[in-house]
Structure 1
Amino acid sequence: MNVLRFALLWTASLLSSVGSSLTTFVLGVWVYQSTGSPTEFALVVLSGMLPGILAGPFAGVVVDRFDRRLVMIVTDCLAALSTAAVGALIWAQALAVWHVALAAAISGACGVFHLTAYQAMTPLLIPERHLGRANGLMHLSSGIQIAAPVLGATLLAVAGMGGVVVLDLVTFGVAMSALVLIRLPAEVLRPNAAAARPAVLRDLGAGLRHLRARAGLPSLVAALTGFNFAFAVAGVLVQPLILSFAGPGVLGVLMFAGGAGMLAGGLVMGAWGGPRRKIGGMTAFMALGGVFLVLHAPAPSPLLVGAAAAGFLFTLPVVNGCAHAVLQSRIEPAVLGRAMGTVHTLGSAAVPVGYLLAAPVAEHLLNPALLPGGALAGSAGLLVGVGEGRGIALVLLLDGLLLLVIAAVLAALPALRRLDRRPVPVPVA
C-alpha cells in the first residue's frame, strides 16, 4: 500500500516538474531576448540556484521537526504564488528581469524544502530493496528539464509566456491535490515525533554530525560532490561546444538527445533498481560517465557529441540513484531530513563553482591556446584538434579524466565498499 502511495506522489510531482521546467525555459528565453546579455541570464540562473544551496540545512531541520506533508504544501504554495505573480506581471506587460530573478530565488529555496521532505519520506514508504528504483524514477524530472526546450519552444509559439505559466499553475494544482488527498502514515510524516529537539542552531549541524559518525558516508558525499562538479562543468560548456561547429537547429536536436539519455537512464534505473552492490554500481557508472565525457573531445562531430552526451546523461540517474539509496538506508529516519539537507547543500555547492571556473578557463585560457599557432596547438591540439571551440573540448576531456579519477578512488576505499553490507545503527545526534 505504501508503494502505491509513493507511486501517486511521484506521478503528481513529476507532472508539476514538467510545468515548472517549461516556465523556467520560457522565462530564460525572455530574459535573454530582452537584455541580450549572457551575464544577466547567468545571474538569473544563479539567483534560482544559490538560495536552494543555502537553504539545505534549514530545510532539513524543518523537515525533521514538523509534518513533512505540511512542509511540502506550504513551500509549494509559496512557489506557486511567485509563479502566479510573474503571470500577472506578464499580463500587465510590466515584467522586469529582477522580477524573474526574485521568483527564481523563491522557487529555488522552496524547491529544496520539497525535495528534502520527499527524500526523507521515500525510505519510509519504499522497502530498502526498491530504493534504487524509487530514486531512479525521481530523476526522471531532471531529464524532462533538459528536454524542456523542445516542448517549451512549441508552447511559447502557440500559447505565449502567459499560457505556459497558466499550464504550470494547473500542474501545480494537480500535484497539490494529490498531496492533500493521499493518506500517509504518521510515522512517515513525523518519525520519532515525541523526541526532544535541541536548539535550532545546534540542530543545523545534526545532519553533518550524523554523516560523520558513519564510516564511509563522508567519502560517499564527497564523491557525489565531485560528480556534481563534473556534471556542472559539462552542463555549462556543452552548448557552447556544439555552437562552435553547428547551428541552433543542431543544438536543439542534440539537447533533446541528451535529455532522452537521462530519461532512459531514469526509466532503466526505475525498472532495474541498480545492482545489488550499490557502491560498486555507482563506481562503475561514474567511470562510464567519465569515458563519455572524454568522447566529447576528439572531434567537432554532431553525431559523436550527441551520442556522448546521451551516454553521459544516461549514467546520471544510476549514479545518483545508487548513492541516495545507500544514504537513505544508512541514515536514521528521525535525522534523515537534516542529513539529506546537508548532502544537498554540499553537493549543490559544487555546481556554481563548476560554472564559474569552467567557462572562463575555456574562453580566456584554453581557447586562444588552441587556435592555429597557439601555445597548445602542437600538444593538446593533437588530442582535441585546433580551431574555434577546441579549448572547450579540452576542458571536457580533463573533466572526464577527473571523473575517472574519482571513480578509481571510490573503488580503492575499503570504508565505501563496506557500505554495500548491512550497517550497524548509529544513535541520532
Structure 2
Amino acid sequence: MNRKLILYVKALSDFGTFMDLIVLNVVIYAATGSPLWLAAAMAARTIGGVLSSLFSGVVADRFDRRKIMIYTDILRAIIILALIPFPSPTFIIIASFLIGLTSTFFGVSFSAEIPRIFGENRVLETNAIIARLTSISLVAGFIAAGVITDFLGYKITLIIDASTYLVSALVLVKMKWETAIPRTDTALTSGAREKIMSVMNDLKEVYKYLSLAPMLMMINVVFLVGSFAGSSHNLGIPLLAENLDAERQGFYYGMIWGVWGIGSVLATMILPRLRWLLDQKLYWVCFSSAILMSTGFIIFLSTSFVWIIFPFAFFTGIFDACFTTLHATILQKTENHIRGRIFGVGMLLKSLGFALGFILAPLLLERMTMPNMVWILHGTLIITTIIITCIAFHYHTKKVTPQVTKEI
C-alpha cells in the first residue's frame, strides 16, 4: 500500500477533529445558551491536551506508534457516537476533554513516526504536504460542520465525524511499515512508584537533550509564545466578522479562515522548492516566519476594510504555515529514540500557551478593544522572537569563531 496514503489518513483524521471542534461547541451552546458552558467545553479540550502532552511522548517512544494511532482513532469514534444518545452539557465537556487527550496521542505518534515512514531526507517535503493537507482539512472541516449541522442536524454531523475516525483506523490497520522496536523496560516495571520514576527519568532525559541543543530549546520558546499569541486571533476573528456584518458573521468568519487556508496551502507548495535556503538557514527562516505571521494578524485584525483584511489574511496564512512546518521539521531532526518525547514536549508547550492565552485574552477584552488585545499578545511574540534571534545569532557566532581562529 502506498505510504503516502497515511498523509491522507492524517488529513481525514484532522477533518474529523475540526468538525467536532465546531459541532461540540454548537451543541453545548444550543443546549445551555451560556457562554460559560461554551468556555468550559473549550477549556476541557485544552486541559485534555495539556495532560496528554505530559506523557504522550513517553508512550510514543515506548510502544508501537502505529497501534497508538489506531487505538486513538477508534476511541475518538466511540466518544463522538456516544454523544448521540447522551447530548447533555456535562457529557459534552467530558467528551471534549477525552477528544483533547486522544488527539494529542495521535498527533505526537504520527509526527514522531514520519521520518521512519518516509526517510530522514524527505522530512521537509513530507511536512509541507502535511501542513497543506491540514490547512485543507481545517477549512473543509469548519465549513462542513456548519453546513451539515444547519441542514441535517447535529446527529448526522456526529455520525459523519465518527466515520472519518473509523476509516482512518481501518486504513492504518491495512498499512505496514518498519517501526521502531518498542522498549520493553516499562513492561517489566512493576508497581506505581517504579512507573512514576520511569516517566520522570524520561522527562529528565528530554531536558538533558534540550540543554545540549540550545537552538532546539530556543525554537521551542518561540513556539510556546506563538501558541500563547494564537489565542488572540482565534478569539479576534469571529469578533472581526461580527464587526464587518453582524447578520453575515458566519460568512465572513468562514471566508477569513478560508483565505488564510489558501495562503497556508500555497506556502506548503513553495517550501519544498526552497530546500537550498532551508538547508542553510532553517532556524532563521523559522524565526522570520513567526515575526511576519504575527505582523499579518495584527494588521488585518486592526482594520474593518475588507480590501485590507483578505489580502493580509492570505499573507498571514503563508507565514503561519511556514512557521508550523519548519518547527515540525526541526523537531524531526532529533534522534529517533527520543523524538516522541520531544514532540510530546512540543504539544505540551502548544497546549499550555493556548490555555494561558485563552485565560488572558478575555480579561484584556474587558479593559480594551480587540485590536489592542491582539497587539499585546502578538506583539509579545514579535519581541520574544527578536530577542531569541539575537541570542541565537550570538550563540552561532560564538560557536563558529573558535573554529575559524583555529584554522588561522
TM-score (norm. length: structure 2):
0.85
2:128 corresponds, among 112, 127, 136, to 136
Structure 2 match to 1:199: 198
> Is the 8 Å Cα contact of residues 146 and 258 (structure 1) preserved in structure 2?
yes
**Does residue 392 of the first structure (1) align with residue 396 of the second (2)?**
no
> Is the 8 Å Cα contact of residues 266 and 318 (structure 1) preserved in structure 2?
no
Structure 2 match to 1:65: 62
1:293 corresponds, among 283, 294, 297, to 297
Structure 2 match to 1:345: 348
CA distance in 2: counterparts of 1:392 and 1:102, whole angstroms = 31
2:296 maps to a residue whose letter is: F
Structure 2 match to 1:164: 157
Structure 1 match to 2:16: 19
1:322 corresponds, among 326, 335, 339, to 326
> Is the 8 Å Cα contact of residues 116 and 178 (structure 2) preserved in structure 1?
no
**Does residue 182 of the first structure (1) align with residue 179 of the second (2)?**
no
Query: How far is 1:45 from its partner?
Result: 0.9
> Is the 8 Å Cα contact of residues 210 and 216 (structure 2) preserved in structure 1?
yes
Residue 142 to residue 28, structure 1, CA distance change in 2 (3 Å): farther
The runs of 5 or more residues in structure 1 that have no matched partner are: 90-94, 367-390, 422-429
Structure 2 match to 1:9: 6
**Does residue 360 of the first structure (1) align with residue 402 of the second (2)?**
no
> Is the 8 Å Cα contact of residues 219 and 416 (structure 1) preserved in structure 2?
no
**Does residue 148 of the first structure (1) align with residue 141 of the second (2)?**
yes
Give the 3-state SS of the residue equivalent to 2:373 in structure 1. helix
Query: How far is 1:280 from its partner?
Result: 1.9
CA distance in 1: counterparts of 2:135 and 2:359, whole angstroms = 22
Residue 339 to residue 44, structure 1, CA distance change in 2 (3 Å): same
Structure 1 match to 2:211: 212
Query: How far is 1:48 from its partner?
Result: 1.0
Structure 1 residue ranges, 4+ long, deviating more than 6 angstroms after superposition: 191-198
> Is the 8 Å Cα contact of residues 146 and 256 (structure 1) preserved in structure 2?
no
> Is the 8 Å Cα contact of residues 282 and 318 (structure 1) preserved in structure 2?
yes
Residue 417 to residue 228, structure 1, CA distance change in 2 (3 Å): farther
The percent of aligned pairs where both chains have the same amino acid is 20
CA distance in 2: counterparts of 1:234 and 1:333, whole angstroms = 34
Give the 3-state SS of the residue equivalent to 1:299 in structure 2. coil
Query: How far is 1:221 from its partner?
Result: 0.5
Query: How far is 1:11 from its partner?
Result: 0.4
Give the 3-state SS of the residue equivalent to 1:88 in structure 2. coil
CA distance in 1: counterparts of 2:301 and 2:202, whole angstroms = 46
Structure 2 match to 1:302: 306
Structure 2 match to 1:372: none
Query: How far is 1:343 from its partner?
Result: 1.6
Structure 2 match to 1:272: 271
CA distance in 2: counterparts of 1:416 and 1:171, whole angstroms = 48
> Is the 8 Å Cα contact of residues 233 and 374 (structure 2) preserved in structure 1?
yes
